[in-house]
Structure 1
Amino acid sequence: MKIEHICETLRKENVIQSKNIHFKKLNGGSSSEVYLVDNTYVVKLNKKEVIEEEVNFLQKYQGVKMLPKLIYTNLAEAYLVYEFKKGDTCYPRKNKQLLLEDLVNNFINKYEMVSSNQTWGWSSSPTDSWHRFLLDRVIDAKEMLKDKLLDNDFSIILTLINKKEKENNDAYYIHGDCGVHNFIFHNNKLSAVIDPTPVYGEPIYDLIYAFCSSPDDLTKETIEAASSHLIKGNKSGRDLYEDVTIGLFLRLATCLRHHPADFEDYMKSWKYWREIVAK
């Protein structure tokens, strides 16, 4: 699908009023094709099922100011249009604690519970439990990390994951890819969250995902301060530390795939958190 054809469709549908439409291609991540149109709209193309999942999320949380407003959808041609949010994705490594607190107060605390706790994991391919979803992700990460970590590291993570089997928490409809790479910053402040990959899970999963998505300030004090603002699914103490350790393990594998230069910094944090949960 060519952007010229899409722009002409948007003009005919009165989504765009100008006769001379200007567009430029943006960095759309690993799979999406993304364009900025007239400095006002973002056009995003991907597989139909991916677009549909994002549309569902944006429609569900259309009143949340941190999310861009959905303007137009064409599932038949696999694209959506949403409002352009001023700013950029360059994460200013200044105060992660304030960033996370802002994220919790203005985004994560807006999440809604799903109607049935029998559905967990990716909304596009759910599983029957949160434990199963996390275990599958850990198994994938283990394969990626097999030459980087000790056998004892894997044993620690499996022990923590297996404790999840006994939990009976509520499932919420959450972002699923809530990292700094999907944050828009304006005047050095968080202004928007984009590109959801929706998950039925615990709100704290998105907080920990954000916490671990950059290697700076991965301290106990930072995540404790941010978690204290959660009004849905808040955790503290050892329960929080164990969830962070699982999240950091998953992040180690992601780092190797996409940001290998950060791996040594993450390993320092891994040793720090491994000692915390070992006590």
Structure 2
Amino acid sequence: MFESTLLHVNALFKSHGVHEEIVHMHTLSGTTEGLALKVESRESNVYLLKFDDPASLGPARQLLETYADSPLLPGVLLAAADDSYLAYAFIEGTTHFNRGAKKDWMRRLTQELLNRYVRCEDADYWGRPEYPRASWQHFNEIGIEEARGNLGSVLTDDDYRCVKQTAERLFAPHAVRSGAEPTEKYRLHGDTGVHNFVYREEALVGVIDPSPMAGPILYDFLYAFCSSPDELNLETLLAAFDLLERVQVERSRLIEETRIQLYCRIGLSVKHHPHDLPGYLEAWNYWNTLSL
């Protein structure tokens, strides 16, 4: 494990030509098996310095560098040649709370990050590089099965069958011929939820902790929309969707894909955020009453 002392951190920064003196630091919780340090320089600049598996930090660095023009992503300060460590600007604010209106932060997310996404030309897989899937259908099937395991009796077997059949119809290989199944992969953030959105004065100011993956832009868009139980209505969705470039789908398909994403999100809520469950179940009933 890297020695997390001011002496070692300053030596590391200088080795990359960064001549700011680090005067304060403390360890952050919530990281995986790696080490995350919040460090502050004498010039009052604050950075996040992470040490982790290169298989995790490498894709994160690549994503941050690819979308360096997005005002929502932190700028990379330095990185190891072998991707064993990475430092980038620390975005001050709060996650989860004081979000303001979903319609507002979804619009900003769409305009300032999602519309900047580029195709992931070098990926021969769908989903995450550490768990590569042969097709987008396969990626969704696994997510639906995991959600079903978490849900127990919270939703019905009919709900499961309906979601599964919808995913099969929308994402099956034969759908490629009709242009329905996504064929273009984009470099996605992969974890666009309110737990990774930084808010300040009830406005979205940053998106942190990427878990990069290859997939359609609509995935990150709907993941963000479903990541909190508030304002899960069609009006809020369409207000942001109308600003989403390079995604052309009929309203009926948008509703169906939202149902799939919502089903998976309710499964995560049961496992990790049970206090959100009443709001999600209300939203589930709402989305199942919408006509296609």
Alpha carbons of structure 1 residues 122 and 15: separation in structure 2 relative to 1, 3 Å = same
Equivalents in 2 of 1:116, 1:204: separation in Å?
20
2:27 corresponds to which residue?
25
Which structure 2 segments of 5+ residues have no match? none
Instruction: Tell me by how many angstroms 1:231 deviates.
Output: 0.6
1:91 corresponds to which residue?
97
1:241 aligns with 2:255: yes
**Further displaced range: 85-94 or 220-229:** 85-94
Whether the 8 Å CA contact 1:7–1:21 is kept in 2: the answer is no
Whether the 8 Å CA contact 1:66–1:192 is kept in 2: the answer is yes
Identity across the alignment (%): 29
Which structure 1 segments of 5+ residues have no match? none
Equivalents in 2 of 1:31, 1:210: separation in Å?
26
1:180 corresponds to which residue?
194
Spell out the pairing of 1:1-279 with structure 2 (5 A cutoff): 1-4=2-5, 6-13=8-15, 14-18=17-21, 21-29=23-31, 33-38=35-40, 39-74=45-80, 76=82, 78-115=84-121, 119-163=125-169, 164-165=171-172, 166=175, 167-169=180-182, 170-276=184-290
Instruction: Tell me by how many angstroms 1:12 deviates.
Output: 3.4
State the TM-score, normalized to the length of structure 1.
Answer: 0.91
Equivalents in 1 of 2:226, 2:33: separation in Å?
22
Counterpart amino acid of 2:54? K
Runs of 4+ with >4 A deviation = 29-32
Whether the 8 Å CA contact 1:52–1:75 is kept in 2: the answer is no
Whether the 8 Å CA contact 2:98–2:201 is kept in 1: the answer is no
Equivalents in 2 of 1:235, 1:3: separation in Å?
49
Alpha carbons of structure 1 residues 265 and 194: separation in structure 2 relative to 1, 3 Å = same
**Further displaced range: 102-111 or 35-44:** 35-44
CA displacement 1:160-192 (0-9 Å, x = unmatched): 110121134221111110011111123321111
Counterpart amino acid of 2:242? S
Instruction: Tell me by how many angstroms 1:6 deviates.
Output: 4.7
2:104 is paired with a residue whose SS is: helix
Coordinate RMSD, CA, aligned: 2.1
Whether the 8 Å CA contact 2:99–2:199 is kept in 1: the answer is no
Counterpart amino acid of 2:3? K
Equivalents in 2 of 1:241, 1:33: separation in Å?
40
1:158 is paired with a residue whose SS is: helix
